[in-house]
């Protein structure tokens, strides 16, 4: 996704059944069959009994541009480890859009797809960006060749460069992240990452996703900054 990026499943702990089982300790009651269990999970989700959802978690391997990563790390409940640009030479991999968006007049933080622009407008934007990336990476290489430490040479690289993480998150906080970052107010690039995570997680926790789509949290217009 986004050119060089991806979201990969590593492993997970728990299941929808485990969420229900965790909740049932409140009453020390055993499972009453699949239908009842599913109803209980929906009840928990709808009424924000969140702690049983924290009993399960997923680990992903995600490769994304640094500007997405900056948004990603605002989610403090993620447990993650990132590829080190102090330790390794960073790869010449930049996010280079082929479809450029215009600044949205109404939402200062948003963007819109152009309706009437010439075909060359996109291509010219891509060419401007690609040339800038080429120059930045050449400067990075030159500094390394001059003996500059990796941790310093990288300062010339742009936020479109790809980085990579292993990240673990519990199911409650994953849902919170997805509600914010799959929403139309989020930048489309991080939405793509969030969609990839949701696609994997939904296969592991189908009842939870069903409950989420039924009782979806509506995000009001975000503040603009």
Q: Are strands 162-170 and 79-82 parallel, antiparallel or unpaired?
A: antiparallel
Residue among 65 and 90 whose Cβ is closer to ligand FAD: 65
Q: Does 79 bind ligand FAD (CB under 6 A)?
A: no
Q: Does 74 bind ligand FAD (CB under 6 A)?
A: yes
Under rule CB under 6 A, how many of the chain's residues touch ligand FAD? 12
**How long, in residues, is the chain?**
225
Nearest to 67 by CA among 222, 208, 203, 193: 193
Catalytic residue among 24, 117, 181, 212: 181
181 tagged catalytic: yes
* Binding test (CB under 6 A) with ligand FAD, winner from 75, 101, 150, 154: 75
As given in the structure block, the two tokens for residue 184 are 């139309």
User: How far, in Å, CA of 188 to CA of 46, rounded?
Assistant: 27
Q: Does 32 bind ligand FAD (CB under 6 A)?
A: no
Residue among 18 and 185 whose Cβ is closer to ligand FAD: 185
- Please report, as residue ranges, which positions from 169 to 198 form the binding site for ligand FAD (by CB under 6 A): 173, 176, 180-181, 185-186
Give the shortest CB-110-to-ligand FAD separation in angstroms: 9
Residue among 153 and 171 whose Cβ is closer to ligand FAD: 171
Phi, psi angles (nearest 5°) of residue 55: -75, -15
Q: First-to-last CA distance in the chain? A: 27
Q: Does 35 bind ligand FAD (CB under 6 A)?
A: no
- Please report, as residue ranges, which positions from 90 to 149 form the binding site for ligand FAD (by CB under 6 A): none
Sign of CA dihedral 123, 124, 129, 130: positive
Q: Does 77 bind ligand FAD (CB under 6 A)?
A: yes
Residue among 136 and 179 whose Cβ is closer to ligand FAD: 179
List of long-range contacts for 210-213, beta carbons under 8 Å, 24+ apart: 210/42, 211/41, 211/42, 211/44, 211/45, 211/46, 212/45, 212/175, 212/178, 212/179
**Using CB under 6 A as the criterion, which residues of the chain lie in contact with ligand FAD when the complex forms?**
74-77, 173, 176, 180-181, 185-186, 222, 225
Residues annotated as catalytic (active site), given as ranges: 181
């Amino acid at each position: 996704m986004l050119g060089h990026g991806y979201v990969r499943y590593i492993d997970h702990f728990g299941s929808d059944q485990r969420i229900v089982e965790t909740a049932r300790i409140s009453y020390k009651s055993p499972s009453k069959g699949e239908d009842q269990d599913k109803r209980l999970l929906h009840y928990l989700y709808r009424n924000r009994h969140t702690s049983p959802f924290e009993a399960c978690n997923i680990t992903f391997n995600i490769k994304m541009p640094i500007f997405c990563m900056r948004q990603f790390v605002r989610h403090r409940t993620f447990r993650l480890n990132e590829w080190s640009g102090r330790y390794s030479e960073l790869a010449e991999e930049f996010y280079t859009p082929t479809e450029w968006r215009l600044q949205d007049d109404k939402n200062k933080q948003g963007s819109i797809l152009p309706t009437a622009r010439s075909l060359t407008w996109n291509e010219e934007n891509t060419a401007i960006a690609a040339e800038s990336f080429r120059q930045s990476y050449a400067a990075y290489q030159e500094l390394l060749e001059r003996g500059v430490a990796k941790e310093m040479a990288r300062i010339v690289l742009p936020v479109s460069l790809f980085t990579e993480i292993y990240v673990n998150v519990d199911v409650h906080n994953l849902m919170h992240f997805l509600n914010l970052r799959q929403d139309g107010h989020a930048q489309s690039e991080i939405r793509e990452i969030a969609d990839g995570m949701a696609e994997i997680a939904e296969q592991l926790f189908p009842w939870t996703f069903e409950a989420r789509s039924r009782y979806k949290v509506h995000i009001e217009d975000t503040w603009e900054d």
